[in-house]
A and B are shown apart, each in its own frame.
Chain A
Amino acid sequence: MPESFILIPGRTSRQGTTLNEGKLKGEYLRETNTVLMNPDDCRRLGLKGGERVRLRSAYGEAEALVEPAKPGELPSGVLFIAYGDTSSRLMGADTHGTGMPDSKGLDVTLEIPPSVLQ
């Protein structure tokens, strides 16, 4: 059963430093493809970290690794990901007359492949 979350893409130090090593390099790709989740939500969903999950929005979908956030960092029901290809895939094209697509606070569902839970 897909779980609903609000996804906040944003900047991280690691995204900024690995960007300089190259956007096509592994470290940058991993940083921008890892979604952080409230540790209580992780426990509830049986996730320990390092699992691959599927995120869907009304506009697109993407796979990402999931990691528990530090306690207190993220409220339950909120996910965080560093800006990059994965977050762009979940973003809609409509800018509502501003030039800026909704790029933060995205409604997404998270689906855990059955193989992960076995």
Chain B
Amino acid sequence: MNETKEVKIVENATCTFCGCVCDDMVLKVEGNRIVEAKNACVLGKAWFLNHHIEDRPVALIDGKPASLDAAVERAARILTEARYPVVYGLSDTTCEAQRIAVAIADRIGACVDTTTSVCHGPSGMAFQGVGEVTCSLGEVKNRADLVIFWGSNPAESHPRHMTRYSTMPKGLFVPRGRKDRTVVLVDVRRTKSAPAADIFLQIKPRKDFEALWALRALVKGVRLDDGIEAETGIPLAQLQDLAQRMKSCKFGVLFFGMGLSMTRGKHLNVEAALALARDLNEHTKFYIKPMRGHGNVTGADNVVSWQTGYPFGVSLARGFPRFNPGEFTTADTLARGEADAALIVASDPMANFSQPAREHLARIPYVVLDPKETPTVGHAAVAFTTATYGINTGGTVYRMDDVPLPLRPAFPSPYPSDEEVLRRIEEAIRRFQNN
């Protein structure tokens, strides 16, 4: 028998694969599949077109299929009885779910931490130290005539960043689009982003701080000698040229990636970049933004900040928030063997963390919520299969420039949302604590 699938078009859907969260998708949906994703980049197409309802149990307890009710009870029990629980992940779910996860952390006295700590966490520390001269991507689109990418490869990590926001679009004060802009790329590798740049500076590995500090010196009029090339790999003349372009542009912006935050020096590398942007405002308008990876990692920073006062690495164990990266961040609490239980939402530390952290995580009971099967799901005491945010559930996400956007789901899922599962776990925890 031929079954006719319902076909519908979802206009202005939001792609939550990367931090660009492009909200101009046009999705063609046939039944439980997205068959076309107009306006999507290569990553967005893979995100939408590979999505299907997997035939998996709604929950697993110790690897065996379980009912949602039983799994909620077991998850709440693990988290209530823990002495040093951690709540981690959160960057691939809605702000509404993030909020409940923070409430759970508060209720059980957990450390709450997001994947920010292992992507732009050092940038968060640097923002606190130096400040961030910030702007929206809309301002970049309409005004920027000098766009610098440093330690970032947008052609592969954020494919529509250049075409939608930063280098190609025609804007109010850059009416000819790309022709009105100078684009600079600074990286260790000549990446796929290099052909899109007017100037490519190939820096030596682990020399970002030195190059940024040299640029600060040049912007301030300090003379440097040719030895800077041996140190950074970039000839003095090229650094002088870049410093001059930065000072003389009308609206400059530096987008930095994890080439700064993940490399030795980390927050100091980012502090150098932030300080350079700040210094340039003595000469012109100059801004700086991190290139955020996951679809709602910026939302995670915002939600954890508005609920605890800090963006990540927060301990609620004493009944009030304490912020200390290195102490309360999950990569550390696991690697040092301190955490004795975990609630992991939409992330995969079993694949991404260091070996000591992974080994400890495998030893403790933990609860995971994920739409897909991952190495972290495979080792969980309790695993929930949840609906995919943005495709199956609505809610709010933040674009990488801190602009909140609504989600327009394509079709419903038989699985519960992260928000629903977390709400039920929170209710069960409250019940256990009251008894």
Contacts and interface: CB of A to CB of B under 8 A. Distances in A.
Nearest to B355: A60
A20 B50 contact: yes
B325 A99 contact: yes
Interface stretch (B160-168, B216-224, B369-377): B369-377
B353 A88 contact: yes
B12 interface: no
Contacts of B283: none
B205 A78 contact: yes
Contacts of A59: 354-355
A101 B354 contact: yes
Nearest to A62: B355
B188 A11 contact: no
A21 B48 CA distance: 11
B235 interface: no
Interface string A57-88: 00110000000000011110010100111001
Interface residues of A, number: 43
Contacts of B259: 10, 104
B177 interface: no
Nearest to A102: B264
B348 A93 contact: no
B125 A20 contact: no
Residue among B121, B262, B335 facing the most chain A CB atoms (10 A cut-off): B262
B110 to A, nearest CB: 16
A98 interface: yes
B375 to A, nearest CB: 7
Nearest to A16: B43
B326 A74 contact: no
Residue among A73, A94, A103 facing the most chain B CB atoms (10 A cut-off): A103
Interface in B93-118: 113, 117-118
Contact of B157 (A16, A18, A94): A16
A27 to B, nearest CB: 11
Given A16-B157, A21-B50, A89-B355, A97 B325 contact: yes
Given A10-B258, A22-B373, A104-B259, 18 more contacts: A6-B206, A12-B156, A13-B156, A17-B45, A20-B50, A23-B373, A60-B355, A74-B189, A78-B188, A93-B357, A98-B121, A98-B267, A99-B113, A99-B121, A99-B326, A100-B117, A103-B262, A104-B258
In order of increasing CB-CB distance, the 9 nearest A-B pairs are: A99-B329, A97-B326, A93-B335, A99-B117, A17-B46, A99-B325, A93-B354, A103-B262, A20-B50
